[in-house]
Amino acid sequence: MKLTVLVDNNAQLLSRDIYGEHGLSQFIEVDDKQILHDTGFSDLFIENAEELGINVANIDYLVLSHGHNDHTGGLKYLIEYMSEFRTKKQKPVLIAHEAVFDRKFKGSEEIGCTVDIKDIKKAFNVQLSKKMQKITEHFYFLGEIERNNDFETVDPYKKLVKDENGNNVYVDDYLVDDSSLAYIKGDDDKKELVIITGCAHSGICNTTEMAKKLIGDYPVISAVGGFHLIEPSEDRITKTCDYLKSLNLDSLYACHCTDLDSKIRLAQANPLKELSAGTVLEF
């Protein structure tokens, strides 16, 4: 598996013109398939991909980690880009949780995906499900994450739904649509897991345990992505660090929605590595 970070809050100091924004997008090559994981906040993921020599118009799959606009904001630009530059006849498959396109709010600000579902279905073969989906022989979408750790509780946002009378009402949004990816490295004699997150609103520990439950209790060698550790409580950061340390990881790549203090704490107990837009990882 090869993973290229197209968008992150930070950008690598390269000779190329790679930029960052508050968002996340990863381009993954595995089992002869090309997978785009999230689209960042704007069309920046396309600009960075072009600079890196990647044609995102020809992806086989688009996986959305959840519905927030710093992960789905580039979707409208991707649809436009594919209409002009896609050479594959078959539409790519869009994989996500069935609640990914719910209308999401933070206060009065709408922070969900605003692309019309009709336009999305014209461009993609849409597969929305709460359940795990096997994408390739070694690559999985985990579906809805069980939340068993009390230290990884989620503060709710809001979403707009219809009540029994057909009226629009705001209800708590606990981001049940938040999901992640898992890669199986190795063969039957020795299998290992790599966890790939978007924001991990469900919690990186819950997410990792879900992958082990669904795919197999294999050693986890790395976790890559946003861990949603933004001013976490002392209890949460301590128990998260302890859990990750217990995995005896080869590497840990925390980015996007992981603040500096959390990265420092993670690095004290785990093999934390640099990650930003432009980074290429191979497993």
pLDDT digits 0-9 by tens, 112-128: 999 999 999 999 999 99
Q: What is the pLDDT of residues 212-248, one digit of tens each?
A: 999 999 999 999 999 999 999 999 999 999 999 999 9
pLDDT in tens, 256-273: 999 999 999 999 999 999
pLDDT tens digit string along 57-115?
A: 999 999 999 999 999 999 999 999 999 999 999 999 999 999 999 999 999 999 999 99
What strands lie across the sheet with 139-141, from one edge to the other?
Answer: 133-136, 139-141, 180-187, 190-197, 220-226, 251-255
Query: Which helix (DSSP H) or strand (DSSP E) does residue 72 occupy?
Result: helix 69-72
What value, to the nearest 5°, has the Cα angle with vertex 240 and ends 237 and 246? Answer: 140
Q: Which two tokens stand for residue 108?
A: 């009065």
| pTM, rounded to two decimals | 0.97
Using CA atoms, how far residue 64 sits from 165, 178, 180, 192, in Å, is: 31, 9, 9, 24
Q: Are 22 and 70 in contact (CB under 8 A)?
A: yes
- The average pLDDT across 37-56 equals 98
